[in-house]
Structure 1
């Protein structure tokens, strides 16, 4: 036969070889398709970052004056509606050519608002009627889709003609003036997580090509009997593998397109994607299309490297490879060299080196585990008969099980490290603002400040008021916050007792009696004030209004004689005295008519729970992904176990014929699968803790090991081993019969 005829025969055998061939093709297509979908998603990482960077660039403002451009007054405030943050961008143009924000073709007129698509959906779906009064204007249009940073962002452009103290901007489109540490941290988690996912994927692609290996060997032996050469058998094997790989490519592309269309429904923390973000570059698509079939073919050939196919049967040759240690240590040493030095987060090297080092540490696991397993089992002696059988098998071939186990260990190491990082951040978020739980702060400034505060105080159920005016002064080049409040508020915010109107409180050594201080209010107006009395020591309570405002000096109203407080900002703290679940929404609605001049910050328990819940959701997603990939690795291990039973069919039959009970053989398989995994769990846990330590140094203040996640992943891994071993028991019982000793 010609080469073309060999390939066509391989195609026909793959799709027309009976029910077994169809089942094998379906399983291969499903497995490779899932792997291809993950690869296409991973290949889109560059496009995701590029598109997000572009949207970030488009949304930032230019504050440098531009010739011929009338500035736009711009002020950003935030309101919350039932735990969802809504950004209100107040805009006042000063001329016909004032800059226009992205997503709209004109500026909103006074009394108009443009809504992002998700905010418009939220307003439409709100049946309580509490959200609509929050918007300071009539909806006049939508912000264009895919111009907001995330698809679920809730943004409103608000037109106003009263804004005076906003930022003057001359255009949109500028580099951010700060480095988002949290976003850098999330990007690190995503990159490391991508490696965690892809490593077992490649292993899984390889193992799917071994499905039905025994049937393939019998067919190849029949073809040899019919006169086919070894070269022809290799072409036929390649064609069979290519059929499964091609079907897997089609299935993977379909799965990727389905996920791409629904990606806007997935959001972790405040990060979300548009469908166009999941667009892998065509060179990477071509690479995937070429690599996946090539990997399937090479794996099928590699599986037959020790197989001699003759007309009367199939014989397998096995020889333990001689493993060397030096090259296996290279990725681990390189990873340590990148993660141990502290390059700092200011440079690109400082941001990428720990990520690259963490990836190298994880890639060192598949390289080191076969050598380590070989050394461990070579020194083990004694034990029960089943244990000795397993050890002897591992001594003769430790490479095959360790390769599959290595994929599981990479998943474990990455998942443990990422889970610990996210758990540490969740703990940090849970502690933040705990002391302010249940309290709301109304902040107002400008000529309507008193009216805004009065409106908030008039909300039914409002109680436990603490009110304070704020100014600041310059002390040795540093701005110091200055507060004015009555004695009730001061005693509630500090440890002071016996407060009298006319007292002054200060963090020593701020100043002394008779000292002159220049105070500045929110209108940038300066006034001179003389300290009328010897300041008392200021001892702030963690739950008081003063600590929220960060004041260093507190004075009672009588101590401010001669100072006009009309332009000072006002902050009022209050609580819900009625247990109304919508109390905070009523407070926000009460100050909504004052627009940018008033805002509400809620430190209620629900908000804290929501913040922790966001990180909890991310942990759940990561844990679910890790368990899913463990399932893939379990399928790989199942294929391996079945192949081993097939290869050892005569040996198992001989053991049974010499009097070895079948239950001993079954237990030996459990040890044979479990010993590499137990060793891998130890290595993966140590590597995962190392990754968590690196991430802690980069982004978080304390190392937190999520031992609960470690336990869940370890138990899941052990469960996979038990299930895989149990699934092979019928094949073992069939092999452990006298018929297995017959030679065909």
Structure 2
């Protein structure tokens, strides 16, 4: 007994004696039985629907896990952050305190975080993920850093900057993510006086974070919309797989007495079973994929599997939305189908599609984005962004693109006449079944439009960053600093760094601060000494000072006041101090570091013959080191109790790994030296990675939707399996039918690509205006469009075997 006969033998689908609610539930249950026990064809349909819905659900669950992933990263970072001294809270030395120093570095554009540690006592506070304190010359490393040091690429790093003996591995609790490269190294010479900080534990107080970068918020919002909108469209398309077969079965149910309402409820039950199966597949796929989260690294980020957990609200919304979408899509689909006892009649003359509301959607989206423009300040780290209007505007624009596409297809196809036989067959097929082709292409439209908009925004950000940083006088500069003043170290820096490959220039000097010893006349009594004006003090020989400012004639024993147009107030009190013979307190400002930190500050009188000079425009140091310049003959650097030893290094970017050579030299001079770089290669690499990632993501989304197109194409061929042999029997060439299949696939995608490119350009221009970034290239949509063309060819080629099989003469037996 077949399923249909079994249903007929049980009871008619609707019984009057049943209550309305029980009757509806019974109909839905019958549809679920059809979905579960529909035979071979039913399970093929279920497999296709479950695969499509499952992939979409897995992607949505991954996206819903991002809040938990970012929260876990922040918690781990907070947990391993050292407690440090503040102006109001001092940490006294004890058996549990530890002196630490940030010794993070870079190696071939890889960021390597690190801390140098020295315990003050026998019971030091241990960072998370660590069960012992590394001794002098020892190191605890993360698994990713251990792999790098053991590889041939990391041999020079292991033999140079990180020449420590590895004695352990940092646990998961001490790492931000599985791919982080991090280490803890022990030291016997690190002290608070040599630049270290004293800590009595970890994670006591969360670091105050600044406002979220508005550009980051805007981009994250746009990325979320662009990546998730095609998935939602794909899920909506997946629940329509094999819809024609379902309609045939529903017509048979009409033959045994079911009315139209009962038919719709049965169809809803069948779609619910497919969506539930898709949910199960999606949850299982997500559960397996999260196990490999640590091995996947995107833009330098990865996650522990334990962190990949959907937010409860978002996860519940996804599990609820998929069945709702399946029900809504099924009911909307049945509106265009007339299911009668003797067969299925599709409306051959559908109602004319109206244009006005399809234009309202993108127009409203653009209006929302333009209204939200006031919430973003073009500055990179200022301004407030409200994600809701950004997301809403982007979604409206993308939905408008999807809604406009069917109207464009109908408007174009209805006006096409004549042409080769293959062209006429394709056009007639689109005129009769344009809706099914449009549904499959709609997902590609969203992916293409969103990818184009994202590429435009990222390209504008990249270009603006290159212009601002690339034109900076600090371009290519490396700053190396020790947390204590030492003329001997400055001399060694000048000597060793200038001999380092990739170094064009090196300037080493001692830097400290000065402040008036007595209250200045313009300072009110209520102003504390810490608020008195302070000035930078640079001590170096004449050749070095000439590279920092236009000092002119110079001899040992000279002093200079260096000012800029925006620092005239500071220059005024320095000039008065030199004129009036006022005494200045050495190391009167800045951090309390250095071998003499804590000692009574020394007093020094600025010579009355001190000249005021200007720093050369574009020197890159005028705004950092304005103040007093002194030669060793005028001020012995040994008198400085606080300050730093600094080297400004200009690198030659044409030398391979120039920055690695500089860092190696700095490590040989003193492992505690801090190195900062001002350059673009890693930023360029990140933007290139983002650009490639967007293209790869768009390609992956299109490949996912190509599966939907392929299934839809095969289903259309199966509908015409009786017609195709007849056409061949009447002399139609097989190549003509193959070309008609190509045109029938290519024409909607070509029209959709045009609509998507227009929508993507509009969204991209509005987002660029919103973020204050320039338009770089109007032709960046070509790679994405070329990918869409590739999808057309792929779907056509993969559907050809089914076409050849259905054109065989044995198909005439059914006629």
Is TM more than 0.5 here?
Answer: yes
Alignment match, 2:36 = 11
For the residue of structure 1 that corresponds to 2:386, the secondary structure is helix
1:572 aligns with one of 634, 637, 647: 647
Alignment match, 1:712 = 783
Do the aligned residues in 1 keep the contact of 2:370 with 2:766 (CA within 8 Å)? no
Shift of 1:712: 1.6
Q: Are positions 1:89 and 2:115 aligned together?
A: yes
Structure 2 distance, partners of 1:369, 1:9, is 32
Alignment match, 2:291 = 261
2:613 aligns with one of 536, 541, 548: 536
Q: Closer, same or farther in 2 for the Cα pair 1:295/1:600, shift >3 Å?
A: closer
1:460-499 superposed matches below 5 A: 461-462=499-500, 464-473=505-514, 479-493=534-548
Structure 2 distance, partners of 1:430, 1:371, is 37
Structure 2 distance, partners of 1:143, 1:340, is 45
Shift of 1:213: 3.4
Query: How many pairs align?
Result: 727
1:109-148 superposed matches below 5 A: 112-125=138-151, 128=155, 130-131=157-158, 133-135=160-162, 139-148=166-175
Do the aligned residues in 2 keep the contact of 1:77 with 1:88 (CA within 8 Å)? yes
Coordinate RMSD, CA, aligned: 5.1
Q: Are positions 1:599 and 2:674 aligned together?
A: yes
Q: Closer, same or farther in 2 for the Cα pair 1:456/1:272, shift >3 Å?
A: farther
Structure 1 distance, partners of 2:267, 2:633, is 93
Deviations 1:439-468 (A, max 9, x none): 654423436662485278347943744322
Deviations 1:473-497 (A, max 9, x none): 4599665434333343344455677
Q: Closer, same or farther in 2 for the Cα pair 1:130/1:741, shift >3 Å?
A: closer
For the residue of structure 2 that corresponds to 1:632, the secondary structure is helix
1:111-260 superposed matches below 5 A: 112-125=138-151, 128=155, 130-131=157-158, 133-135=160-162, 139-160=166-187, 162-164=191-193, 165-169=195-199, 171=201, 172-179=203-210, 181=212, 185-186=215-216, 188-222=218-252, 237=267, 241=271, 244-260=274-290
Q: Closer, same or farther in 2 for the Cα pair 1:225/1:458, shift >3 Å?
A: same
Q: Which runs of 5+ in 2 are unaligned?
A: 1-6, 11-25, 517-521, 523-531, 588-592
Structure 2 distance, partners of 1:213, 1:131, is 62
Q: Which runs of 5+ in 1 are unaligned?
A: none
Do the aligned residues in 2 keep the contact of 1:459 with 1:590 (CA within 8 Å)? yes
Q: Are positions 1:518 and 2:584 aligned together?
A: yes
Q: Are positions 1:408 and 2:479 aligned together?
A: no
1:69-108 superposed matches below 5 A: 73-91=99-117, 100-105=126-131, 108=134
Structure 1 distance, partners of 2:543, 2:498, is 22
Alignment match, 1:504 = 560
Shift of 1:35: 0.9
Q: Are positions 1:423 and 2:450 aligned together?
A: no
Shift of 1:625: 0.5
Q: Closer, same or farther in 2 for the Cα pair 1:136/1:576, shift >3 Å?
A: same
For the residue of structure 1 that corresponds to 2:105, the secondary structure is strand
Do the aligned residues in 1 keep the contact of 2:549 with 2:613 (CA within 8 Å)? no
Q: Closer, same or farther in 2 for the Cα pair 1:304/1:74, shift >3 Å?
A: same
Deviations 1:333-357 (A, max 9, x none): 77337523226699x9974524542
Do the aligned residues in 1 keep the contact of 2:140 with 2:166 (CA within 8 Å)? yes
Shift of 1:613: 0.9
Shift of 1:685: 1.5
Structure 2 distance, partners of 1:674, 1:566, is 73
Q: Are positions 1:316 and 2:316 aligned together?
A: no
Shift of 1:551: 1.6
Structure 1 distance, partners of 2:403, 2:721, is 25
Q: Closer, same or farther in 2 for the Cα pair 1:89/1:453, shift >3 Å?
A: farther
Alignment match, 1:551 = 625
Shift of 1:207: 2.0
For the residue of structure 2 that corresponds to 1:280, the secondary structure is coil
Do the aligned residues in 1 keep the contact of 2:652 with 2:658 (CA within 8 Å)? no
Shift of 1:274: 1.8
Shift of 1:146: 3.7
Shift of 1:314: 1.9
Q: Closer, same or farther in 2 for the Cα pair 1:368/1:742, shift >3 Å?
A: farther
Do the aligned residues in 1 keep the contact of 2:91 with 2:200 (CA within 8 Å)? no
Q: Closer, same or farther in 2 for the Cα pair 1:562/1:496, shift >3 Å?
A: closer
Q: Closer, same or farther in 2 for the Cα pair 1:428/1:268, shift >3 Å?
A: farther
Deviates more, 1:304-313 or 1:132-141: 132-141
Shift of 1:610: 3.1
Q: Closer, same or farther in 2 for the Cα pair 1:379/1:230, shift >3 Å?
A: closer
2:79 aligns with one of 49, 58, 81: 58
Q: Closer, same or farther in 2 for the Cα pair 1:735/1:681, shift >3 Å?
A: farther
Shift of 1:722: 6.1
Shift of 1:687: 1.1
Shift of 1:179: 1.9
Deviates more, 1:681-690 or 1:666-675: 666-675
Deviations 1:550-595 (A, max 9, x none): 2224636267356756655332345789998677556545554776
Do the aligned residues in 2 keep the contact of 1:409 with 1:680 (CA within 8 Å)? yes
Structure 1 distance, partners of 2:215, 2:470, is 22
Alignment match, 1:626 = 698
For the residue of structure 2 that corresponds to 1:416, the secondary structure is helix
Q: Are positions 1:332 and 2:365 aligned together?
A: yes
Structure 1 distance, partners of 2:746, 2:803, is 12
Structure 2 distance, partners of 1:67, 1:436, is 37
Structure 2 distance, partners of 1:668, 1:719, is 15
Structure 1 distance, partners of 2:651, 2:71, is 45
Do the aligned residues in 2 keep the contact of 1:266 with 1:272 (CA within 8 Å)? yes
Structure 2 distance, partners of 1:725, 1:117, is 47
1:686-697 superposed matches below 5 A: 686-694=762-770, 696-697=771-772
Alignment match, 1:680 = 756
For the residue of structure 2 that corresponds to 1:470, the secondary structure is strand
For the residue of structure 2 that corresponds to 1:341, the secondary structure is helix
Q: Closer, same or farther in 2 for the Cα pair 1:642/1:359, shift >3 Å?
A: farther
Do the aligned residues in 1 keep the contact of 2:490 with 2:645 (CA within 8 Å)? no
Q: Closer, same or farther in 2 for the Cα pair 1:556/1:401, shift >3 Å?
A: same
1:275-290 superposed matches below 5 A: 275-281=305-311, 284-285=314-315, 287-290=317-320
Do the aligned residues in 1 keep the contact of 2:765 with 2:775 (CA within 8 Å)? no
Do the aligned residues in 2 keep the contact of 1:495 with 1:541 (CA within 8 Å)? no
